[in-house]
Structure 1
C-alpha cells in the first residue's frame, strides 16, 4: 500500500506539472488577479506614438493597452471622447495622462466605475475650475510661450498652436536624441489655444488613487508645479526623474512603465479582494 500511495503522489505531481507546461504563455493562474487595461492619453504637441516604448514594456508584461488618440480640441470634449473609449472596455482600467492629458483623464474618469487608478506623467492634475494655463503659470520656469509658432486660424475661429520646429527639441524633448526630436517636431499634434485656457470640469484624483512621475528639467510644466499637484492629490507615489524633460515617457520609458505597473498591480490586488 505504501508503494501504491507513493506512486499515486508521483503521477499527481506529473499531471500538475504537465498542466502547467501546457498553459498558454502569459496565462493567469486561478490565484492571480486579472490585469487591468492601461489606457494612455497623450498631451499637446505629442501623439499616440509617444507611448510606443511604454506600450512595448507593458505588453511584454501581458497588460492590455490602448493608446488613445486625444483630439486636443477642448478639455470637456476630449474628456468625453476618452470617457466613451473607457466605457467600451470591460473590466478595470488604469488611466494614464501626459501633460494636457492629465486634465483629460481627471474629467474622463468621472462616472466611470471601471477606472480604478490615475497616473500623471509630467501632467496637469487640476482642481475644478483650473486650466493648463493657470497651473503652468502658478510657478516660474515654463518657457513654452516663447517657443510657440504664430497661431493657425481655423475656419471655426479657433486657433491651433504648434511649437516652432527649430525650438521643439530644447523646449519639449531636450533629453531625447536630436534625430528623434526632429521627427517629433514634424509629427507634433497641435492643440487649440482655447483648450489650454479651458477650466477643468472635474478632479477625479480626489476620489481615485493617483501616481505621479515627472522630470526635474521640464520646461513646459515647472517641476515645482508638478510637485504641488502631486502633494495636493495625496499621491500614492511620486517619482522625480533627474535630468528628464517634458517627454519623460520617451526618454525614460522603463521608469514610466514601472510606475504604471505599480499602479496596475495595486488595482489588480484591490479588485481581487472580496
Structure 2
C-alpha cells in the first residue's frame, strides 16, 4: 500500500480547503491509466463528527461538496466507546457503494482510524483537527501528552445509566466557555446554538486505547489547527519529526471554523505569474514565485490583500499639472 502522507495546507484554509486538496490528490493518484467513466467517478465523502458536536456541524461543508458534485454522507457518531463507535461506522460503510473518502473531526479521527482497517473501499483518510492515535494510544492520553489543552477545566461531568444498570460519566463543554474553547472562529450567535445542542461524549470513549491505525496503510491527509485548545501540538522546533506526518503544515485556527467564511488556497488556486520576458529591463530571466513577488513587476506595488503574499496590480494615476502662471 502507499505510505501515509499528510497534505500541507496554506494560509487560513479551513475544513473545505483540506477536503478539496485531499480529494484532488486522490483523483490524480488513484485513477488507473485507462481513462473511463468508472475511473472518473467521484468518491463518496463520509463525514464523521467528534465530541461536543453532531452531524449538522458539517452542513456548510456538505453544501460546498455537493455543489462540486460529490456524493456526501454525514454519519451520527454515537460517542459512547471507541470500539462501539468504530463498529457502527463500519456498518454504515458497508452500505456505501464505490470508493470512499473518510473524514474525521476531533475524536472522529480516532474512530475513522479504527473503522477503515481492512476496508478496501476506503481510498483516503482526512483528519480535520483530529486525533491520529497509534496502537495503544487513547484520545485522553494524547490530549494530555503536550501542554496547551484547556479542555479539562472547561468541561462539565454528567452521569447516565448504562445498560448494565451501573452509572457512566459523560462530558460536555460548559456553555459559557464553549465558544472560546471550541468554536472561537464561529459567530457568537451560531456558537451559542452549538453550545446548547452539543453532544456529550462518554469518558470511557476518550480513555479507550486504539487497537488499529488505518493511517499506516491508507493514504491520509491532515489539517492541524495551531490555535486548537482541545488537542495540543508539540511546540518544539522542527515538529513534526516522526515519519507518521512527514509533510503536514499547521494552519492557524481553532477546532471549529465557519466554512462559509473561508476560501481554499491549495496549490491549484494560487495566482500564476505571466511568462518571463528576458528582454524586460526588470527581468532576471528566472522563474518568479507568484506568492513572493508581483506577477506584474512593471507596475507599482501595493500591500497584498490576499493570503498568499502575491502583490496586486495598481493602475498608475497621472497627477493633474497646475495651470501656468499668468503674466501680469
TM-score by structure 2 length? 0.64
Q: Which residue of 42, 48, 52 maps to 2:49?
A: 42
Determine the C-alpha separation between the residues in 1 that align with 2:46 and 2:239.
Answer: 25
Sort the Cα spacing of 1:239 and 1:228 in 2 relative to 1 into closer, same or farther, 3 A. closer
Look up the match of 1:71. 78
Question: Is the contact between residue 215 and residue 248 of structure 1 (CA under 8 Å) also seen in structure 2?
Answer: no
1:136-182: per-residue Cα shift (whole Å, max 9, x none)? 11111000000011333434421111111011011111121111110
* Aligned 1:1-274 pairs, distance under 5 A: 30=37, 33-155=40-162, 156-224=166-234, 232-234=243-245, 238-242=248-252, 244-248=253-257, 250=259, 254-255=263-264
Q: Secondary structure at the match of 1:175?
A: coil
Sort the Cα spacing of 1:93 and 1:30 in 2 relative to 1 into closer, same or farther, 3 A. closer
1:238-268: per-residue Cα shift (whole Å, max 9, x none)? 34222x1111465766549x79xxxxxxxxx
Sort the Cα spacing of 1:113 and 1:106 in 2 relative to 1 into closer, same or farther, 3 A. same
Question: Is the contact between residue 126 and residue 220 of structure 2 (CA under 8 Å) also seen in structure 1?
Answer: yes
Look up the match of 2:306. none
Q: Secondary structure at the match of 1:67?
A: strand
Question: Is the contact between residue 122 and residue 248 of structure 1 (CA under 8 Å) also seen in structure 2?
Answer: no
Q: Secondary structure at the match of 1:66?
A: strand
Look up the match of 1:10. none
Q: Secondary structure at the match of 1:149?
A: strand
Q: Which runs of 4+ in 1 moved over 3 A?
A: 28-32, 227-232, 248-256
In the TM superposition, residue 78 of structure 1 has moved relative to its aligned partner by 0.3
Determine the C-alpha separation between the residues in 1 that align with 2:69 and 2:203.
Answer: 38
Determine the C-alpha separation between the residues in 1 that align with 2:133 and 2:38.
Answer: 38
Q: Which stretches in structure 2 are left out of the alignment for 5+ residues?
A: 1-34, 268-328
Larger % of helix: which?
1
Q: Secondary structure at the match of 1:189?
A: coil
In the TM superposition, residue 88 of structure 1 has moved relative to its aligned partner by 1.0
1:2-59: per-residue Cα shift (whole Å, max 9, x none)? xxxxxxxxxxxxxxxxxxxxxxxxxx98486110000000000011011111111110
Question: Is the contact between residue 170 and residue 200 of structure 2 (CA under 8 Å) also seen in structure 1?
Answer: yes
TM-score by structure 1 length? 0.76
Q: How many residues align?
A: 228
Determine the C-alpha separation between the residues in 1 that align with 2:188 and 2:159.
Answer: 26
Question: Is the contact between residue 138 and residue 206 of structure 2 (CA under 8 Å) also seen in structure 1?
Answer: yes
